[in-house]
Amino acid sequence: MDAGMKRVALSQMAGVPGDIEATMARVLSDVEAAAREKADLLIFPEGIMTGYYSADLTAARVPDISAWLPELQRRAKSSRLAIIIGALVADGESIRNLALAIDEEGELVAQYCKRALYGKWEQATFTPGECSEVVVLAGIKTGLLICYDIEFPELTRQLAQAGAELIATPTALMAPSTEVAQVLVPARAIENQIFVAYCNRVGQEEELDFLGLSSIVAPDGKVLARAGGDPALILADLDLSEVGSSRSNSCYLDDLKRLQRGEEN
């Protein structure tokens, strides 16, 4: 594959609520599957390692991922496969909703904390993050967001302005919010002329029903791969040069700077 081409995989999966061992068996199976497909980067959904939702969740009830993270790092290194995976992590009495980024050398290079907390339950349960994160994974300048974050165009724009080529978004989108996956995700790609990989869950946790509809979208809004409502591993080859070529005639980021300075285009 050309050096500018990168293969990205999304694992649209259902965890096993309350059973981290069974969940991680599914995670590791998809790591193996993505490696067989020669993926460069594999993205998992929000909170998949630990589970995302429980109505009465407390820090004391959050599963400990410390026994599993080294195994993911080992698999990443042995497969030369960068991995982004969602997990809840207890920090004293607080809980952080994280996207853990492991590079192809097996190094944990980022622990992005979700900034935009959705609804009363998340706001009462999680401690929000305070900053954005761009990391290089398998040669891709990757901006990290989690679920509700991507519904704010300002947060994606910050990452694009920081040089991201791809926005990776672990997600736990619930029914009936199909418009987020089908309308807003392509819009974020188009308005920033950037790739977006949106990895949602399927299945249920208590009363929550997750939608699926994971997708990988090109800078022109073209959907390169999309899942339905069932577990799936989807892949797409990204030509990173499309970020530059999509901006060659008209660049939203540059034109925004002129607008903000009060200049004419």
List active site positions: 46, 114, 147
Rounded distance between C-alpha atoms, residue 95 and residue 123, angstroms: 11
By the 8 A CB rule, do 68 and 83 touch?
no
Rounded distance between C-alpha atoms, residue 112 and residue 150, angstroms: 14
Q: Report cis status (omega within 30 of 0) of the bond before 176.
A: yes
107: Cα within 13 Å, side-chain hemisphere: 7
Phi, psi of 204 (to 5 degrees): -135, 155
By the 8 A CB rule, do 83 and 116 touch?
no
Residues ≥6 apart with Cβ < 8 Å to 66? none
Rounded distance between C-alpha atoms, residue 217 and residue 189, angstroms: 7
10 Å Cβ neighbour count for 247? 17
